[in-house]
Amino acid sequence: MGLLDGLRAALGLRAESDARRDADPEDLFGMSTAYLTMEADLGYEPAGVGALCFSGVDSQTFREAVDDVIAILEAGREDTGTNFRVTEDDHGYRWVVLEDADPEDLVTSMHFAADTFIEHGYGSRLLAAVFGYTGPDGPAYWIYSFRRGAYYPFAPRNGRERDSSAEFKLEAALDGELEIEREKEYWYPLWPSSRGTHPWE
């Protein structure tokens, strides 16, 4: 199974068929308080960056949906201070990348973007919301799978290794505060390209 097939399986078709409950963009607001727990209990700090991963459709209505996402984020930039860009990774997946030093504003902007896709009837194209952190031992991410309606931690290290110890500490610290994915087979690693530092690069 290739990388692209793995992503489709973990965050896409198989995740949809095995979904435990409907994904809800309101779940994203859980990160508005979770970052405080991570700082206090584990020494992780928000990296000031996150992203929304989605798969595209070659249609005019979908392009209009993306345009509306851009327009809403542009309109909210003055209030939230959230900078953003839309990009595509090496595997053909598209991302709305958001940057904001205020974690709560970052979450709010992420929610606006996700909710706009859903309002346009393209909620099924949403794959994941990714929130970046920096910790004592390196970077870490909380990934929300829209198809599973749950979060899981991802702690990448050099050489495409995962820090399982860090991931389990994050799981233990946030269990009960976030809806955690219990089936570890769905803790899919979102590796960046060879030249990137974040999953969307």
Give 97-108 pLDDT, tens digit per residue.
999 999 999 999
Domain membership flag for residue 165: yes
Give 125-155 pLDDT, tens digit per residue.
999 999 999 999 899 999 999 989 999 999 9
Domain membership flag for residue 195: no
CATH number, domain containing residue 112: 3.30.70.1130
Query: Are the CB atoms for 89 and 95 separated by under 8 Å?
Result: yes
Tokens of 95: 């991302």
- Nearest to 132, CA basis, from 154, 165, 114, 108: 154
pLDDT of residue 2: 40
Domain membership flag for residue 193: no
Domain membership flag for residue 27: yes
Give 69's contacts (C-beta < 8 A, 6+ positions apart).
86, 96, 113, 116, 117
Is residue 56's pLDDT more than 90? no
Range(s) of the domain holding residue 8: 3-186
d(CA 63, CA 102) in angstroms, rounded, equals 29
Domain membership flag for residue 171: yes
Domain membership flag for residue 9: yes
pLDDT of residue 113: 95
What's the structural domain count of the chain?
1
pLDDT of residue 25: 87
d(CA 161, CA 19) in angstroms, rounded, equals 28
Cβ burial, residue 197 (10 Å; 0-12/13-18/19+): exposed
Q: Is the pTM here over 0.75, yes or no?
A: yes
Domain membership flag for residue 150: yes
Q: Which residues pair with 132 in a beta bridge?
A: 141
d(CA 121, CA 108) in angstroms, rounded, equals 20
When pLDDT is cut at 50, 70 and 90, the band that residue 32 belongs to is very high
Domain membership flag for residue 87: yes
d(CA 66, CA 51) in angstroms, rounded, equals 14
Tokens of 4: 């692209």
